[in-house]
A and B are shown apart, each in its own frame.
Chain A
Amino acid sequence: MIDEQLSVLAVVAPLLAAPLCVLMPRARWSWLLALVASVACFAISVRLFVLVQSDGMIVTPLGGWAAPWGIEYRVDPVNSLVMLIVSGISSVCLLSARLSINKEIDSSRQPLFYTAWLLCLSGLIGMTVTGDAFNLFVFLEISSLSSYVLIAMGRDRRALTASFQYLVMGTIGATFIIIGVGFLYLATGSLNMADIAVRLPDTIATRTMESALAFLTVGMGLKIAMFPLHLWLPNAYAYAPSVVSAFIAATATKVALYALIRFLFTIFGYQFSFVEMPLSAILAVLAVAAVLVASTVAIFERDIKRMLAYSSVAQIGYMLLGIAIASQAGVTASIAHIFNHALMKGALFLALACVVYQIGSVMRDDLTGLSRRMPWTFGAFTIASLSLIGMPLTAGFTSKWLLVQAALAAGWWMIALLVLIGSLLAVVYIWRVIEIMIRPPAENAPRQEAPLSLLAPAWILALANIYFGIFTGINIGSAKAAAIWLLGGVS
């Protein structure tokens, strides 16, 4: 009984904890409540993940209305993995949030901060579990609106303009998505994703469906920060509070990418999206452009948070490339990279949260001698950086390896080469930071290691990078299962 309702509880736990946070008299209590709700959500996700691995898809109707009329939640091999990442990252980030947020946001606004965080979490989880196209849009808006708030709470006043920029772009994206969903509804008379997929073949070869695909791809592209639509992202990540950068960078774009995968493969189907429509070519070009351009820009960034933001745009390029290849191997690489990138960007941004806490700046020149001043933070940063580059024995290597293999199997030699060039560019921009960090510090610079409650979460994610680089059962194994489930007969 309870197992069937778990997917609902995963959304409802943070959703109801959010208004309770508002009522908490002290900032500390609302932090604790947020942490408890997030961990509960993570526990539910783990349980769902295990259940889906053993028994297959779990379908939960809501409100006592059967599927095509009512909303239903479907947990399958694809979204159970995404849920796991989102709730896990949120929990780890909240662990380090208390100290970091105490320093960056005044205590009267903290309960509202945690409320926005929980709303964002519940929106993201809702986007992943829902089996209803319109419901997906609603959750997308919940998560987006709350993430605008989270970003605007940054210390720097530029956070406000960054957030406003994101709001404008995000709203355009959401509008495109709702137009796409509207077209789908127009053609099929249904909003349930599985039901649309069944009805779609009757109307697939119409202009309506072609525009629906275009609108949805562009709309999701804005949310994903697909290459020419990525301009909101660097400022949003750079000026947000440190833990928010970690949370949003590791989850928000990933969930939007998952939604794109869902629309392309589950609703429109492989045949329409990639054979009848030239989506493969479009996505591949944009993905490679993202890798090369964003990596190059990252090399010249002096603000490390901005550098990592541009690196995110490049990494999103890798994920899109996997989708563009549109084979089982390609989609496996893409989903595995969603998982691995969340781990590495989470670790990197949490390490930067330690730096911000102690030093108060993330400009490259202020970090001279960090390896002596904050050795543990430096350690976590380095491990995650290696994973970002794609060193063997780290998580980043496994998914990039799969991606190159998939590109080669599809006969895309040039693309595989460009992926490797992208990795070399990553070596350059990471090395420029590491090189400054290992320079000897100014003579009387004190050792000022960050407190344990900030270090531990960064290290949890850094070690996860190594663990999932060696034992690939969960990330690669279930990504493969998810790709097989998504693509069905297509090899």
Chain B
Amino acid sequence: MINNPVLRVIAKIMIPLILLFALYVQFHGDYGPGGGFQAGVIFAAALVLYAMVFGIEAAERVIPAKVLKVLIATGVLIYGGVGVYTLLLGSDFLDYNTLAHDPVHGQHLGIFLVELGVGITVAAVMISIFLAFAGRGARR
């Protein structure tokens, strides 16, 4: 599809907007609808569009498979790490109140970090699944 100028131009305009919207859904999730999962999927959608228009190889140059693997693990570690950190602070697992001096700030920080972890893992997993299916046959 790389030869179709309409697709190429529209994709180039859309992808930054999709990425920006993903970040909005990610970081506005505390106040409005949204959160890590939705943001991760939207973020991945941008890369899926990129891969569909410019080809799998181009997408793999943007995010190599190795990086994806690390990102998948990192997101889970961020989520679990927050839980372990609150345990170390002497409260329950994932009790955000103790993360800051003020429980309200603690809750903000906690949900922010946890959703960040979710977002990273979901985006990376979605892209990996797409590349795994789309890459079949292309590589062999």
Q: How many A residues are at the interface, by size bracket? A: 10 to 19
Contact check, A63 vs B84: say whether CB atoms are below 8 A apart.
Answer: no
Interface residues of B in 39-92 (CB under 8 A from A): 69-70, 72-74, 76-77, 80-81, 83-84, 87, 90-92
**CB of A415 within 8 Å of the partner chain:** no
Whole-angstrom CA separation of A22 from B69 in the bound complex: 7
Interface residues of A in 1-16 (CB under 8 A from B): 1, 5, 8-9, 12, 15-16
Chain B, residue nearest A22 (CB):
B73
Q: Is the interface of B mostly helix, strand, loop or mixed?
A: helix
Contact check, B93 vs A23: say whether CB atoms are below 8 A apart.
Answer: no
Contact check, A8 vs B93: say whether CB atoms are below 8 A apart.
Answer: yes
12 pairs, CB–CB < 8 Å, chain A vs chain B? A1-B90, A12-B83, A16-B76, A18-B76, A19-B72, A19-B80, A22-B72, A60-B92, A61-B92, A63-B92, A64-B94, A64-B96
Contact check, A64 vs B91: say whether CB atoms are below 8 A apart.
Answer: yes
Among B70, B77, B92, B96, the residue within 8 A (CB) of A16 is B77
Among B70, B80, B81, B96, the residue within 8 A (CB) of A23 is B70
Contact A19:B77 (CB < 8 A) given known A12-B83, A64-B97:
yes
Contact check, A5 vs B93: say whether CB atoms are below 8 A apart.
Answer: yes
Contact check, B95 vs A16: say whether CB atoms are below 8 A apart.
Answer: no
Contact check, B84 vs A16: say whether CB atoms are below 8 A apart.
Answer: yes
Chain A, residue nearest B87 (CB):
A5
Give me the interface of A with B, judged by CB distance under 8 Å: 1, 5, 8-9, 12, 15-16, 18-20, 22-23, 60-64
Q: Which of A12, A18, A19, A62 has the most CB of B within 10 A?
A: A19
Interface size on B, residues (CB 8 A): 20
Chain B, residue nearest A5 (CB):
B87
CB contacts (< 8 Å) of B84 on chain A: these are 12, 16
CB contacts (< 8 Å) of B87 on chain A: these are 5, 8-9
Contact check, B90 vs A64: say whether CB atoms are below 8 A apart.
Answer: no
Further 4 A-B residue pairs, CB within 8 A, beyond A9-B87, A63-B92, A63-B93: A12-B84, A15-B76, A20-B77, A23-B73
CB contacts (< 8 Å) of A8 on chain B: these are 83, 87, 92-93
Whole-angstrom CA separation of A19 from B77 in the bound complex: 7
CB contacts (< 8 Å) of B96 on chain A: these are 63-64
Q: Which of A9, A22, A64 has the most CB of B within 10 A?
A: A64
Digit string of B94-118 for contact with A (CB within 8 Å is 1, else 0)?
1111000000000000000000000
Contact check, B73 vs A20: say whether CB atoms are below 8 A apart.
Answer: yes
Contact check, B95 vs A64: say whether CB atoms are below 8 A apart.
Answer: yes
Whole-angstrom CA separation of A16 from B84 in the bound complex: 10
Report how many A-B pairs have Cβ atoms within 8 Å.
Answer: 53
Chain A, residue nearest B97 (CB):
A64
Contact check, B90 vs A12: say whether CB atoms are below 8 A apart.
Answer: no
Q: Is the interface of A mostly helix, strand, loop or mixed?
A: helix
CB contacts (< 8 Å) of B83 on chain A: these are 8, 12
Whole-angstrom CA separation of A12 from B83 in the bound complex: 9
Whole-angstrom CA separation of A62 from B96 in the bound complex: 11
Whole-angstrom CA separation of A23 from B72 in the bound complex: 10
- Shortest B87–chain A CB gap in Å is 6
- Shortest B67–chain A CB gap in Å is 12
Whole-angstrom CA separation of A1 from B92 in the bound complex: 10
CB contacts (< 8 Å) of B94 on chain A: these are 62-64
Whole-angstrom CA separation of A15 from B87 in the bound complex: 15
- Shortest B103–chain A CB gap in Å is 9
- Shortest B90–chain A CB gap in Å is 7
- Shortest B73–chain A CB gap in Å is 4
- Shortest A224–chain B CB gap in Å is 29
Minimum-distance CB pairs A-B, first 5: A64-B95, A19-B73, A63-B94, A22-B73, A19-B76
Whole-angstrom CA separation of A8 from B72 in the bound complex: 23
CB contacts (< 8 Å) of A16 on chain B: these are 76-77, 80-81, 84
Whole-angstrom CA separation of A22 from B71 in the bound complex: 10
CB contacts (< 8 Å) of B69 on chain A: these are 22
Whole-angstrom CA separation of A465 from B120 in the bound complex: 46
Chain A, residue nearest B73 (CB):
A19
- Shortest A448–chain B CB gap in Å is 38
Whole-angstrom CA separation of A9 from B76 in the bound complex: 16
CB contacts (< 8 Å) of A60 on chain B: these are 92-93
Whole-angstrom CA separation of A60 from B95 in the bound complex: 12
- Shortest B85–chain A CB gap in Å is 12
Whole-angstrom CA separation of A15 from B121 in the bound complex: 15
CB contacts (< 8 Å) of B81 on chain A: these are 16
Whole-angstrom CA separation of A62 from B105 in the bound complex: 19
Whole-angstrom CA separation of A319 from B127 in the bound complex: 44
